[in-house]
Amino acid sequence: MKLIRHWIALFLGACLVIFALQNITLVEVQFLFWSFHAYRFVILAVSFLIGCVMGWLLKAHGANRRRRKTVTTPAAND
């Protein structure tokens, strides 16, 4: 099983290198008042990482909300 995982990792790594080499073009990025040049692959990788972090944070937030909902507080009887 380890051998299969290594081959899959090698294949995905090779695909990543090919993707990077095909998207090495320098592009201009404009955001609000800023403008800068960066490689297309870098912009795609940063966008992907930001999306992963946002998904992870939203998933953690949803899990916390569900956990707080299931915890019952004792009713105060006076």
DSSP letter string over 17-75? HHHHHHT--EEEEEETTEEEEEEHHHHHHHHHHHHHHHHHHHHHHHHHHHHHHHSPPPP
Q: What is the pLDDT of residue 54?
A: 92
Would the pTM count as exceeding 0.75? Answer: no
Domain range holding 63?
25-70
**Mean pLDDT computed over 30-36:** 90
The answer to the question of residue 2 being in a domain is no
Of residues 78 and 42, more confidence is placed in 42
pLDDT of residue 78: 54
Higher pLDDT, residue 71 or 29: 29
Q: How many domains does the chain have?
A: 1
DSSP state of 76: -
The share of the chain scoring above pLDDT 90, in percent, equals: 23
Is 6 within the bounds of a domain?
A: no
